[in-house]
Amino acid sequence: MSSRRLTAIAGSLVTATFSAVMMLPPTAAADDQGPGSGKGGKAVDEAPAGVRLTTLLPEKISVDNSSRKTAITATVKNEGSRESGDLRLLVVGFDGLKVTGVKGCSVIAEKDLPAGSNSGFNCPVGKLAAGSSKSYAVDATYDLRKAGKICLPVQGEDGKKTFWQQGPVPFGTVNPSPNAPATPLLLGTDNKPVAPGGDELPRTGVGRDVLPLGATGAALIAAGAAGLWWARRQPRPARERG
């Protein structure tokens, strides 16, 4: 199958590693986001023995109807019994959801984004101890006239293996609120756009994706430190975690 390259992301970033969920600024860890969910996630490449990686996204977010801004907490967890090797997390936006910033992460240039996406950031996670997690404050905008999705692949530091991938999973509402100050969106929900004729947009619910990282389990793969590759390939049988 064909692959689409992502060039190397230069520069080293210093991030703090915690044995518990990292505290986030209020703008990105708002109380109304609800508990985290692994909805739309699947294992791709087999993780090292004793390492079990997952990601979490909030069950709900809120989009400001004036600025179109929203905040999302993205969490990577090691639910296994052993420390992981060095990891990285990619945060990628699709369609109406555009990722504008992720604290402690580097932007992926527009020309290097995977097909179908509009934004992306590369986050160095480092090692995760057994039972620990690390969270990132994600700033984004959401064009409510469109559907919108986000994708969280977890890779080894060299990018050769993708151990876990959540998404592309949609945030959306079937009850748009154009005249309200904000519109609440739910994870795993197809968005019903505010604009007339929006019902003609492709639906993007979990299990209907046809994008490179959809239900077929195609992985984000890199070949060495020299570059990142976005590739489609068949993984081992997926096992869902909710």
Structure token digits, residue 219: 């992985």
53-67, 126-140, 172-186, range with the lowest pLDDT: 172-186
Q: Which pLDDT score is estimated for 32?
A: 58
Instruction: Identify the pLDDT of residue 196.
Output: 56
Is 239's pLDDT higher than 50?
no
Q: Above 90 in pLDDT, residue 75? A: yes
Q: Which residue has the higher pLDDT, 44 or 7?
A: 44
Domain boundaries of the chain, sorted by first residue: 3-231
| 107-126 mean pLDDT | 90
Q: Do 113 and 95 meet the contact criterion of CB atoms below 8 Å apart?
A: no
Q: Are strands 69-78 and 3-7 parallel, antiparallel or unpaired?
A: unpaired
CB crowding 88-121: b at 16 or more within 10 Å, else e = bbbbbbbbbbbbeebbbbbbbeeebbbebbbbbb
Residue 63: pLDDT over 90: yes
- Res. 174: pLDDT tops 80: yes
- Whose CA is closest to 92, among 169, 40, 20, 12? 169
Q: What CATH code is assigned to 3-231? A: 2.60.40.10
Q: How far apart are CA 241 and CA 110, in angstroms?
A: 31
Is the per-residue pLDDT at 127 higher than 70? yes
pLDDT for 207: 40
